[in-house]
Structure 1
Amino acid sequence: MLNSRIMISSSAVPSAALDLLITQGFDTTSVDELAATAGMSRSTFFRRFGSKENMVFADQEMIITHVKTTLAASSVSATQTLIDAAHVVFDQYTMNPEAAQLRHRLLSSVPSLRERELVSTHRYERAFYDFLSARELTNTAPHRALSLGISAGLVAIHNDHLRLWLRDPSATDREHLAADVSLFLDRFADLLDPNHAPKAKSSKAPRVVVSVLDAGDDEQAVLDAVSKALREHRD
């Protein structure tokens, strides 16, 4: 199993720069001000980020790359690999609580950044789908549809846990995330891990017990005859 706690390099986005964008306003903050706050020159800022928007999402670019590497390098089951990948994203966001909180506040107040966030969400979904495709789990139309649903569901569960953590870090953790992801993926065990999927129990064929009675036998005689036949059948 991959060590999903391996971290990428320290945050690419200076917390002071995010704080400036929140307090001063995204549109009214200049690149020169951001560069000075981040302790770099204007030219260095543009070489590293390219734009204010790219700076806000620089960490996310690194995380997506890390997720793709985790998925491609995995040799364990599809289910465990997807759990590991969910951990990668969660760990990277929560390793720097200050930056995560600032970024969340900034995205909540700038519509254009929220739109960029939606694009990033689809990129995570695509990374998971491409992994399932590489495992040859999307070769039929039904399996393709299931894989699309799995990819979207995995992102939705992760984002729900991240929102819980942003509101209250004690509300969830990576173990709770893994439990919910596992519960979700278990529903697709026949696709993700067919060799280990639980087999449905075969139902036993109904048994027919025949009793021969004399015409005119009363109710008690019928019950006695049926009881005797059942006992003989069990024996």
Structure 2
Amino acid sequence: MLDSKIMISSSAVPAAALELLIEQGFDTTSVDELAAAAGISRSTFFRRFGSKENMVFADQEMIITHLQTVLGTSSAPALQALVDAVGVVFDQYTANPPAAELRHRLLQEVPSLRDRELVSTHRFERAFNGYLTSRGLFAAPEEHALRLGISAGIVAIHNDHLRTWLRDHTATSREALAEDARRFLNRFSDILLPGSDATAPPTGHTVVVSVINGPVDQQLVLDEVARALRETPLK
């Protein structure tokens, strides 16, 4: 199985280039200036990134690919595989705090980059959706929306923890993220965990009849049970 602890190279997004974009402005900073800040030539910059926008999100492309590989090679039950995978994504984003903070600040200042971030969010959702599809989970036509909702929910939980971490690194952790993701996914454990009986009847009221101190009129007992059922129907 692939080692899920592999870290994406911190050089994927040069911190010095991000600092320059913040200092000078995204639109007013040239590619030549970014290449110089990153310590590479102009031709290498274009070969490696293609554009300024692609440079800002260079590691996200790698993280999405890594996520797909981690999910595709996991032999764990689906629920655990999903929890592990969302932790892997969090690990990647928090591995280089200075670069993560710089990009977050840059995204707050540049609307076009925020739009690009939304595209990346949808790609993460598709990665989780693709995994569920490949496992044949929520495969019925009427479960399509549910599968999409679960995929979006996992990403939303991750992003909420990442935003919390960006504000205060001590306010959350990988473990806290995993706990929230598991709590959410446990609602679908009848499908995501092996051996679960999705057709088991729900637990309802239990009727107990006790006979104490001698014989009891059978019809009286039946009448009392019938009355109790009418007043408190089984759910």
Mapping of residues 60-99 of structure 1, within 5 Å: 60-99=60-99
Q: Where does residue 8 of structure 1 map in the other structure?
A: 8
The amino acid that maps onto 2:53 is E
Task: Say whether 1:42 aligns with 2:37.
Answer: no
Change (3 A) 1:127 1:30: same
Percent identity, aligned pairs only? 67
The amino acid that maps onto 2:95 is M
Change (3 A) 1:42 1:183: same
CA–CA separation in structure 1 for the residues paired with 2:183 and 2:208: 37
Instruction: State the Cα distance separating 1:144 from its structure 2 match.
Output: 1.9
The amino acid that maps onto 1:132 is L
CA–CA separation in structure 2 for the residues paired with 1:27 and 1:53: 10
Q: Where does residue 228 of structure 2 map in the other structure?
A: none
Q: Which runs of 5+ in 2 are unaligned?
A: 225-235
The amino acid that maps onto 2:180 is D
Contact 2:157–2:180 (Cα < 8 Å) also in 1? yes
Q: Which runs of 5+ in 1 are unaligned?
A: 214-221, 227-235
Instruction: State the Cα distance separating 1:85 from its structure 2 match.
Output: 1.0
1:211 aligned residue (200, 213, 217): 217
SS for the counterpart of 2:11 is coil
Larger Rg: 1
The amino acid that maps onto 2:74 is S
Mapping of residues 86-125 of structure 1, within 5 Å: 86-125=86-125
SS for the counterpart of 1:90 is helix
Mapping of residues 94-173 of structure 1, within 5 Å: 94-173=94-173
Mapping of residues 19-38 of structure 1, within 5 Å: 19-38=19-38
Instruction: State the Cα distance separating 1:202 from its structure 2 match.
Output: 4.9
The amino acid that maps onto 2:89 is V
The amino acid that maps onto 2:77 is S
Contact 2:107–2:114 (Cα < 8 Å) also in 1? yes
Change (3 A) 1:33 1:129: same
**Aligned CA-pair RMSD:** 2.3
Instruction: State the Cα distance separating 1:88 from its structure 2 match.
Output: 1.2
Q: Give deviations 1:89-148, integer Å, cap 9, x for gaps.
A: 100111100000000000111000000000000000000000000000132123222211
Instruction: State the Cα distance separating 1:203 from its structure 2 match.
Output: 4.5
Change (3 A) 1:202 1:27: closer
Normalising by the residue count of structure 1, what TM-score does the alignment of the two structures yield? 0.84
Instruction: State the Cα distance separating 1:10 from its structure 2 match.
Output: 2.9
Q: Where does residue 175 of structure 2 map in the other structure?
A: 175
Normalising by the residue count of structure 2, what TM-score does the alignment of the two structures yield? 0.84
